[in-house]
Amino acid sequence: MVLDAGTVNPSDISWERLNRVGEVTVYESTPPERVIERIGDAPIIVCTRTRIRREVFEQCPGLKYVGLFATGYNIIDTAAAKEHGVVVCNVPGYSTEAVAQFVFALLLEICHHVPAYDSLVRTGRWEEAPGRYASALPLMELKDKTMGIIGMGDIGYRTAQIAAAFGMRVLGTRRHPDPRMETDSIRFTDLDTLLRESDVISLHCPLFPETRNLIDKAAIAKMKDGAILINTARGPILNERDVADALNSGKLWGAGVDVLSNEPPREDNPLLHTKNCIVTPHIAWAPEETRRRLVRMVAENMEAFLSGCPIHVVNP
- What positions carry a catalytic annotation? 234, 263, 282
What is the spatial distance between Cα 154 and Cα 92, in angstroms, rounded to a whole number?
8
Lay out the sheet containing 44-47: strands in order across. 44-47, 65-68, 87-89
| Rg, the chain, Cα only | 21
**CB under 8 Å to 126, separation ≥6 — which residues?**
120, 133
Helices 154-165/96-112 angle, 10° precision: 40
What is the spatial distance between Cα 177 and Cα 159, in angstroms, rounded to a whole number?
16
* Cβ-count burial 198-236 (b if 16+ within 10 Å, e if not): bbbbbbbbbbeeebebbbbeebbeebbeebbbbbbbbbb
- Cβ neighbour number for residue 197 with a 10 Å cutoff: 16
What is the spatial distance between Cα 42 and Cα 65, in angstroms, rounded to a whole number?
9
Task: List the one residue out of 104, 105, 57, 46 whose CA is nearest residue 80.
Answer: 57
| H-only helix segments in the chain | 5-8, 16-19, 35-39, 54-59, 78-83, 96-112, 114-122, 125-128, 154-165, 191-197, 217-222, 240-249, 288-306
